[in-house]
Amino acid sequence: MARYGMIIDATTCLGCNACTVACIEENQTAYWGDKVRTRVYEKEVGSYPDTDRIFQTQICVHCDDPPCVDVCPTGASHIGPGGVVLVDYEKCILCGACVEVCPYDARYFYTPQDVQKAREEYGPDNEHFVPHVDKCTLCIHRIEQGLEPACVATCVGESRIFVDWDNLTPEQEALAKKAVPLFKGSDYSNIFRGNFDPKPKIRYIIDKENAVPKKKVGVGVWLWHYLAKPLGLLSIAGILGVLGLNYIITKPQVKKIKEQLEEMKSEEKNKEE
Amino acid sequence: MSGKISRRAFLKGAAGVAVGASLLRPSRAKAKVTTKQIRYVPSVCNFCSTTCSIMVAVNPKGKAVKIEGNSKSSLNQGRICARGQTGLQLLYNPHRLKYPLIRVEGSKRGEWKFRKATWDEVIDYIIKKLKDENIQPWEIAMPSGWFNCVFYMPVSLAFTLAYGMPNIVASPMQHCVGSSHFGNDLVIGDFNIHDEVLADYDKADYILAALGNASMGGISTSRAVRFAKAVRRGAEVVILDPRLSETASRATKWIPIKPGTDLEFFLAMMSEMLNKGYYNADFLKKHTNMPHLVFAENGQPVMEIDKKRNMPAKFYVYDENSKKIVAVPGYTNTNEKDITGKGISPALEIPANVRFRGKKVITVFQLFRKQLSQFTPEWAEKITGVSASTIRAVAKGFGTAKHPVMDPGWHGSRYRNIVLIRRVQTMIQALTGNIDKEGGWVFSGEHHEKVANFLRAMQKGEEVRPGEMPGMLFAMALLNLYGNPRSWKHGHPHFSFAFSIVNEKEGKPAVLMPAFADWGLDEAVEGKLKWLDGKPYQIKAFFINGNNPIRNFYTAERWKKFFTHKNVKLIIVHDVLPTEAAAYADVILPSTTYLERDEPFVYGNGPNPDLMKTTRFKVVEPLYDVKSYPDVAMMWLEKLNLLDPFYEWMEKLFGLPAEHYKKVVSEEVRKGKSYNDALRKATEMLLEKKHPGIMARMKKDGVVLIEKKEEFLKKSALFYKLPAPTPSGRVEFYSYMMAMMVQQHGYNEFIDPTIKYIPAEVTGKKIGENEFYFIYGKTPTESHASAATLDNKLLSFVNNLIDPLEKYGLWINSKVARKLGIKSGDLLEVVNTKTGQKIHIQAYVTEKVRPDTVFMPSSFGSEARQLKVAYGVGAPLSEIVSYGVEPIAAGFLSQEFTVRLKKL
């Protein structure tokens, strides 16, 4: 069994965002709404002349124990081949539980408006044919063809290294020793007294302080950590209750866009005939 | 574990109850399945002159869907930067020029009032206008983009020579290739550092760079991938830059040097290296002119010249074995044998009383050490603000490293002493012997190939065509064509040379080698340039070819003045996007993008040290009624009945057989093919005859490997094994090329063949209150002022993602900003203290820049209204930088001024 992931060597990241653009082009993400699956932020630290620029890579870290999968009411969020955390677009009801619970800020809504826009931008054959929650798939479709994820393949600084944790090369082994899970020693572990470990498969090599982005601890994370995780069943009703609202709001739009899509498809078919 | 699974199972169940049936489930497979039907077409990236190899994914409907780096090419190793990734944004940009346009009669240039036209119509319009206004070929100037050199060289040269149009104004010449690269070229004989040298950064253990971010963090992918490997390996990286660039942020040591004082740093560093013995004495003795003798009294070289070939015939060295002065051959790679072939041991330092023809002589090495002795680290400390101990440490670190690499540099004429700065940097690299060697500067496979062919032909006594000459010889051959009045039937050389010739005659300041420059254009447009025949040498028309001089050149105001001048009767623009310059056109000839064409020739893989051949393959059919440069050039020539001389020049310069090209092209064109495609067909036929199957391999892999770098370095490393295209074949510390220039033009300190210290104009200038040094530079998401990267939704997204102010604003140090009451986002008026030029730009308050300096990203400030994404974002460099050129190659003095700020 493979356990796919990445080592991100923050020390060689040049902050060029070739990865960001490669991912947008490969996965047709909703960048017009500032929504992408991965990006590199930048932070300035220190004061002149002891200044430094920190490049922070944000991406889904593909937890072995992912909170997003735990809270998904429909099974849309699931662990796919190679341990990759995926969303089944057709099962997703846009309730948003996963978006709220993700400690890595790695998910966003591909809204009905975005689907519309994607059609203009990428053509009617675009990948995002229904509204859904979108996230990094580690380009599993490329991995299955023997390719590296798009961001890794083009990373100019070779900062992103695609790995199979169960099958590291000797070179990767050396890097893996230096790599740590995101948020280690940062806010999260303090708040959760070191208990917080969803076992991410994307790990970072950091020689500079704060080389990873931080996210404020949201309600969802608390709910998941203190209710859903330990208590299981009990919390589900609560989370669904809170987030069902989201579903009710988006449902008519989802329906509309799907109908439009069907219409367009049949029109095209007619044209071809 | 099992607990979790059951919880998930339950969740699924619950969901089924809650929402299950209510959702429509389109019964179609995931869209990604279609990736299997994707086909890949190889091409070459066009976003900068690194020329990365790419593979473009095309879906079954024929739409290009993704660009990938081509991993078959060892140049960019399968990777491309953010700019290269967004090539499809250019191809599918809705603001593209889609069909030929003619300016509406009665409208003014710049108003953007055009009517749709056909190709026949526009070509006829041009020919008629040229005739009606009696515009002679030399009265047309062609501001031209870099790719017209790199990919279309034979077309560019044959077109202009056949037509009699010497006035190519090439966009990278004054910015970098002509000026800053010339410094490197003088020492090691290459012509263009972009194409001909790629340092082995990945194997380096010490990297030192100055004067910009472009080559590594900026990004040139071929360099950046190698640089990052060095960073991971823990190499020492020292970056001189007044601001903390991306490159500097990855350094082990960032030295925020005072702007304009790089020369002083490097002089002190070189002086220290010579004093402390941080050099490779064996290499200097054998493969450089360090042991060559010069007269002690005046520093003139002891040499004999072959007057017939105008080449050095003999140099003299002091043989340590025989303790005698002996002659060594004029052109060779080594001083190990005298002219009779006897083994000798040339000395770097010789006894004080050695005389030649009665006069005291010393070695070049001794001369340089003496000259440099005044440039102590303490001296440099006062000027550069870098401590003497730091300079000593860098000299030691670099000079004693196993694989030291000085970044050869990209872009940046910047200061009047730029040629000398780059020359000294190259000398420092050469002191270590780390040239054309694993882990050092390595010449490209193409350069190696050309040198080897050239030497072979020389030995056989065969003639070498100008276009096939290597390095500096090619550059000199071109200058002799375009800069020499006798090369043209009409007696008019390029107007910059004409301006120099006239100025020199009148005792006015002249630029010695204004290669494809814009120097003198003001005079030529205004009719003030009086040529030797007593008549004005006038520029009456512009053919703007893949270039936007309003933003690519300085100053914007100056170019707008040309374009609206009453003497300028015709402006033709051939481009992809409606740039500022296009707005001033009378006729617009829309161009294909690089993804919509096969190109006529097969060329090398940029600076790749492996010799690989490549070309572009058409990824998609042209989306609109657009044509390529060869189509435009040849349709134009056809109307004037000048296609025959066109083919003849291709043969004369590049050995492309005229008869073959003429025959194939006319057949293909008769069949309805375009000139561009017909040329390609002719090229393919020739290649296939020589190397059957090569085009199929290229179409599959994008590149065809001819020979590996390791083979070259083993067999034909320049200097170590073969002579290079310098006048002496060796590394030239004492510049024989400059000595020739002195002979030709008389002495001035800029062309001193030794080292004559010339500070930058801004150095030593008193900086007043609220006055700042001005620097600019490159960011990873933009090509220099290129509309292709500016009018680009994805790159614009990335710029905004990080911090729009950092990307578009004026960087100012936070301490100073506080004093002046400036906050990030405040609108500032920036005034050039030399000329009063003004721009408005938002402030970006940061700790990443020196307190006495402001930094501006180089590319923004588009005012092309048709470019909806680019329009109005940031401020234009070409409106704050003042016009001025250095005296060797008319390099732009783009940082030789200071600015004052005012909060608005």
pLDDT at A245: 56
For the beta carbon of residue A192, count every other beta carbon within 10 angstroms: 17
| Closest by Cα among B282, B280, B298 to B362 | B298
For the beta carbon of residue A165, count every other beta carbon within 10 angstroms: 18
Mean pLDDT, chain B, whole residue set: 94
State the pLDDT confidence band at B3, using cuts at 50, 70 and 90: very low
CATH number of residue A42's parent domain: 3.30.70.20
User: Rounded mean pLDDT of B614-625?
Assistant: 98
How many structural domains comprise chain B? 2
Can you list the positions of beta strands (E) in chain A? 4-9, 39-45, 52-58, 77-79, 85-87, 107-110, 132-135, 160-164, 180-181, 202-205
How do residues B24-44 score in pLDDT, each as one tens digit? 333 333 444 445 588 999 999
Q: Secondary structure of B265-315 in the HEC alphabet? A: HHHHHHHHHHHHCCCCHHHHHHHECCCCEEECCCCCECEEEECCCCEEEEE
Is residue A181 within 8 A of residue A61, CB to CB? The reply is: yes
In-domain check, residue B684? no
pLDDT of B479 > 80? The answer is yes
In-domain check, residue B477? no
Indicate if the alpha-carbon torsion angle B817, B822, B823, B828 is positive or negative. negative
Task: Tally C-beta pairs within 8 A across A and B.
Answer: 205
State the pLDDT confidence band at B12, using cuts at 50, 70 and 90: very low
Residues of B in contact with A105 (CB under 8 A): none
In-domain check, residue B345? no
Percent of chain B with pLDDT over 70: 96
pLDDT at B193: 83
What b/e string do you get for A140-163 counting C-beta neighbours within 10 Å, with b at 16 or more?
bbbbeeeebbbbbbbbbbbbbbbb
pLDDT at A224: 62
Q: Domain range for residue A161? A: 4-272
> How far does A193 lie from chain B, in Å, by closest CA?
22
pLDDT of B8 > 50? The answer is no
Estimate to the nearest angstrom the gap between the alpha carbon of B154 and the chain centroid: 18
pLDDT at A244: 55
User: Rounded mean pLDDT of B213-224?
Assistant: 93
**Measured torsion, CA atoms of residues A40, A46, A47, A51, in degrees rounded to the nearest 10:** -60
> How far does B798 lie from chain A, in Å, by closest CA?
7
> How far does A125 lie from chain B, in Å, by closest CA?
7
User: Rounded mean pLDDT of A150-164?
Assistant: 97
% helix, strand, coil for chain B, step of 5 = 40, 20, 45
Residues of A in contact with B32 (CB under 8 A): 127, 141
Q: Secondary structure of B188-219 in the HEC alphabet? A: HCCCCHHHHEEECHHHCCEEEEECCCCCCCCC
The answer, for B437 touching chain A at a CB cutoff of 8 Å, is no
The answer, for B79 touching chain A at a CB cutoff of 8 Å, is yes
CATH number of residue B56's parent domain: 3.30.200.210
How do residues B262-296 score in pLDDT, each as one tens digit? 999 999 999 999 999 999 999 999 999 999 999 99
DSSP structural state of residue A165 = T
pLDDT at A256: 66
pLDDT at A206: 82
In-domain check, residue B859? yes
Q: What residue of A is the nearest CA neighbor of B1?
A: A65
pLDDT of B2 > 60? The answer is no
Test A42 with B68 for CB contact under 8 angstroms: no
The backbone torsions φ and ψ at residue B190, rounded to the nearest 5 degrees and listed phi first, read -80, 180
Distance, in Å, from the CA atom of B70 to the CA atom of B53, rounded to the nearest integer, reads 5
In-domain check, residue B262? no
pLDDT at B95: 96
Least CB-CB distance to A90: which of B26, B32, B224?
A: B26
The H-assigned helical ranges of B565-720 are: 629-639, 643-654, 658-670, 675-690, 694-701, 709-716
| Closest by Cα among B172, B175, B168, B170 to B891 | B175
Take residue B204 and report the two structure tokens written for it. Answer: 């380096």
Q: Domain range for residue B82? A: 31-90
pLDDT at A13: 94
Least CB-CB distance to B224: which of A125, A142, A157?
A: A157
The answer, for B747 touching chain A at a CB cutoff of 8 Å, is no
Is residue B568 within 8 A of residue B544, CB to CB? The reply is: no
pLDDT at B19: 31
Residue located via tokens 């051939």: B574
pLDDT at B34: 46
Of the candidates B66, B90, B114, which is a domain's last residue? B90
CA atoms within 13 A of residue B139's CA, in its CB half-sphere? 19
Residues of B in contact with A69 (CB under 8 A): 8
For the beta carbon of residue B564, count every other beta carbon within 10 angstroms: 13
User: Rounded mean pLDDT of B126-132?
Assistant: 98
User: Rounded mean pLDDT of B737-755?
Assistant: 94
Of the candidates B72, B90, B108, which is a domain's last residue? B90
Q: What is the complex's ipTM, to 2 decimals?
A: 0.92
How do residues A108-139 score in pLDDT, each as one tens digit? 999 988 999 999 888 887 889 889 999 999 99
In-domain check, residue B67? yes
**What 3-state class would DSSP assign to A78?**
strand
**What 3-state class would DSSP assign to B864?**
coil
Top mean-pLDDT range of A33-42, B212-221, B286-295? B286-295
Least CB-CB distance to B231: which of A11, A22, A25?
A: A11
In-domain check, residue B401? no
Q: Which of A17, A137, A251 is the best substitution to test chain B (most B C-beta atoms within 10 A)?
A: A17
> How far does B137 lie from chain A, in Å, by closest CA?
44
Is residue B537 within 8 A of residue B570, CB to CB? The reply is: no
In-domain check, residue B412? no
User: Rounded mean pLDDT of A185-207?
Assistant: 67
What b/e string do you get for A76-100 counting C-beta neighbours within 10 Å, with b at 16 or more?
bbbbeebbbbbbebbbbbbbbbbbb
Distance, in Å, from the CA atom of B11 to the CA atom of B19, rounded to the nearest integer, reads 12
How many structural domains comprise chain A? 1
How do residues A47-74 score in pLDDT, each as one tens digit? 999 999 988 888 999 999 888 898 888 8
**Measured torsion, CA atoms of residues A198, A203, A207, A210, in degrees rounded to the nearest 10:** -50
Q: What residue of B is the nearest CA neighbor of A125?
A: B31
Distance, in Å, from the CA atom of B157 to the CA atom of B138, rounded to the nearest integer, reads 14
Task: Please give the helix or strand (H or E) that residue A113 lies within, else none.
Answer: helix A112-122
Distance, in Å, from the CA atom of B660 to the CA atom of B752, rounded to the nearest integer, reads 48
pLDDT of A259 > 80? The answer is no
Of the candidates B42, B61, B90, which is a domain's last residue? B90
Estimate to the nearest angstrom the gap between the alpha carbon of B504 and the chain centroid: 28
